[in-house]
Amino acid sequence: HENQYGGTVTLRLDAATHLTLDGSQNRMRGFVNGNVLVPLASERTPMVADPVKRALLRKFLDGFPDELPNRRDENERALNTNAPQAINDGNALLRLDRRLSRRDDVYARYQFTSQFVDAFQLVAGQNPDTTTKAHTGVVTWNRRWGAATVTQASAGFDRVTSLLLPEPDAVGPQVNFSNVITTLGPGSSIPIDRAQNRYHAAAGLQQPGGGHNWYAGGGLTRRQVNGFEASSHRGNLYFRNDFGRDVMTNFLLGIPSRFSGATGNAVRAFRTWEPSLFVGDQWRAASWLSLHAGLRWEMAGAPSEAHGLTPVPYPSDRNNFAPRFALALRLPGGGGTLRAAYGLHYGEIYPVTYGQTRYNPPLNQKFEIQAPDLLLPFQRLNIPVTPGARSTFVDVDRNLRSPYAHQYNLLWEPSLGRLFRLQLAYLGSRSQKLPFMWYTNRAAPTPGLPQTTATINDRRPDARYFDHRRI
């Protein structure tokens, strides 16, 4: 069931000023259908005698629907089922348009958007409940200096807040069954309580004349990313084919293969500067030829943490020059039209990439326990960070730079008369310096130690860390 309603009002305040108010809401209620893997009827009773462990396993089993598999043609544990979901969307807009003079116009706009998702849960904790709010405010000044020259300048502020919380029936940690049955959530990155602020200013100029349309401009952005982002802070419990038994037997016996978790302070406030400049020309060289050339420069500023809690080691990336060229050529006779273009495009190093440094010691500690007792790992989640204790470590390469892509195309459209049309095209791209995370410090065969799950941490080459994750 979906209900949409809203309204718009435009007021003429005086001969040169108009005010627009716009608001709308959308309410969606319904069910989501999907497939999950659930325990068989014979796999719904814990086989451990300890009453505390038995109660915990029962809690995990209760996270699955009572329904038994009904799509055994797909998988012996496959269940097709439904779960309710509710989504509330809201939008409000306030806009002021004013003619200052014959040459000058000013526009001011504020927009607020919100969304709440009470997410569907085919199994307990499958999806987080999400609240997102976005504020956008911008003021723009347009000036016509003459018959052809136009400038535009703007300043604005964007704020996006994201709150992702485990749904009330989530079992606690993430419980992973090696894809034999569906993982019980929430995921290791939940909860998230993030606010991103973006202050930006920009200006541009257009100057047509003599077959040319020159343009130039630039901008400056200040980005702030604040808040808490989890990484295993609720814990992750893994059951595997291990110890000579299959996954489900280990689960019902309460014998996990691994537990990972984190404790400490993961609240950070990262800051970056992002300036840019551009220049270009669209040239109508002849009736049969158009050319376009441009150059853009972007700097990826070195991020910093506002309170000095976490160093981010890579420096600013200042040599990001991005040329672009294009042509459109009408060939003589029946040759048709030929078009070609090339552009170099820079991406960005996202805050979620360098923000993973928040999980490093000394303020945060990520740990792993191999072949743990079922109950012991959960006690670790409440222990304060121990200085110098072993931890997983995220290492951001000092040579990290903005990724970029060469993109190019060639298109020929010959003339085949009025009844037929043919296009022959080649498109290509090549991307470089793409960010990637390497998991290193893995356990290796070690003389004197058996190659079992319990000895994994003892067989890691660098005893200071568990995983060593290098970006």
- Rounded to whole angstroms, how far apart are CA atoms 251 and 171? 15
pTM of the model: 0.90
Secondary structure of 315-343 in HEC code, one letter for each residue: CCEEEEEEEEEEEEEECCCCCCEEEEEEE
Q: What is the pLDDT of residues 316-339, one digit of tens each?
A: 999 999 999 999 999 998 899 999
- Rounded to whole angstroms, how far apart are CA atoms 404 and 70? 48
Output the pLDDT for position 204: 97
Question: Which of 32-41, 229-238, 376-385 comes out lowest in average pLDDT?
Answer: 376-385
Asked if the model's pLDDT at residue 383 lies above 80, the reply is no
Report the chain's mean pLDDT, rounded to a whole number: 95
267, containing H or E segment: strand 267-286
Output the pLDDT for position 172: 86
Output the pLDDT for position 313: 87
Segment 232-251 shows an average pLDDT of: 96
Asked if the model's pLDDT at residue 142 lies above 90, the reply is yes
- Buried b / exposed e across 38-71, counting CB within 10 Å, b at 16+? bbeeebeebebeeeebbebbeebbebbbeeebee
High-pLDDT (> 90) share of the chain, %: 92
239, containing H or E segment: none
Residue 328, strand partner residues: 290, 339
Q: What is the pLDDT of residues 247-281, one digit of tens each?
A: 999 999 999 999 999 999 999 999 999 999 999 99
Asked if the model's pLDDT at residue 154 lies above 90, the reply is yes
Output the pLDDT for position 415: 87
**Which residue is listed with tokens 């980005």?**
223
Residue 6, Cβ neighbours under 10 Å: how many? 12
Which of 130, 132, 127 is CA-nearest to residue 112? Answer: 132
Q: What is the pLDDT of residues 9-36, one digit of tens each?
A: 999 999 999 999 999 999 999 999 999 9
Asked if the model's pLDDT at residue 4 lies above 90, the reply is yes
Terminus-to-terminus CA distance in the chain, angstroms? Answer: 45
- Please list the alpha-helical segments (H only) found in 222-350: 247-253
Q: What is the pLDDT of residues 70-126, one digit of tens each?
A: 999 999 999 999 999 999 999 999 999 999 999 999 999 999 999 999 999 999 999
